[in-house]
Amino acid sequence: MMLFNTKNELEQIDFHDCIIEAINIEDNMITFILESVNVLAAHTLNPFEFARNTDQCILEFINVQSYESGYFVREKEDRIDIELVHNNDFEILKFDILNENEMRFYKIFGMASNFNNEYSEILIRAEYTNIKWNKYVSDAWFVNWPKKK
């Protein structure tokens, strides 16, 4: 059991440069194992006055209605569809959340090292999310950035 657990507060999580290490699909749930995330200062579970980086965490998409995944070959516009579970080792560059009635639409864009570091996307439509982690490890990469000389 993870020490920190939060439901639908992804707007207060910074996913930029986070790595999806593994993806699992079971019944109506998709689980990402993430190397770490940056929890913003405004998040209800962040006791610090600034953003902090976590240890490995688990992001669960609950009551999944649909999902798709693919990558883009350079110089081409068409996406090549791939099985979601094979789009791991994925560096997140952008994580958008759109509300659709009772569902949420998650648009995750990044680079897939399994596919020659091509740009890739993951699209998930789910009712809600849980994100869990055990501890805060360090300041987020962007705290006091740029560094003053």
pLDDT tens digits, one per residue of 24-72: 999 999 999 999 999 999 999 999 999 999 999 999 999 999 999 999 8
Three-state DSSP class for residue 84: helix
pLDDT at position 145: 76
What value, to the nearest 5°, has the Cα angle with vertex 108 and ends 105 and 111? 165
Is 73 inside a domain boundary?
yes
Is 141 inside a domain boundary?
no
Q: What's the structural domain count of the chain?
A: 1
Is 139 inside a domain boundary?
no
- According to DSSP, residue 116 is labeled T
pLDDT at position 149: 66
Q: What is the mean pLDDT of residues 86-94?
A: 92
Q: How far from chain centre, in Å, is Cα 21?
A: 11
Is 101 inside a domain boundary?
yes
Q: What is the mean pLDDT of the chain?
A: 93
Is 149 inside a domain boundary?
no
73-82, 107-116, 131-140: which is most confident: 131-140
- pLDDT tier for residue 112 given thresholds of 50, 70 and 90: confident
Strands in 52-54's sheet, in edge-to-edge order, are: 13-14, 38-39, 52-54, 136-139
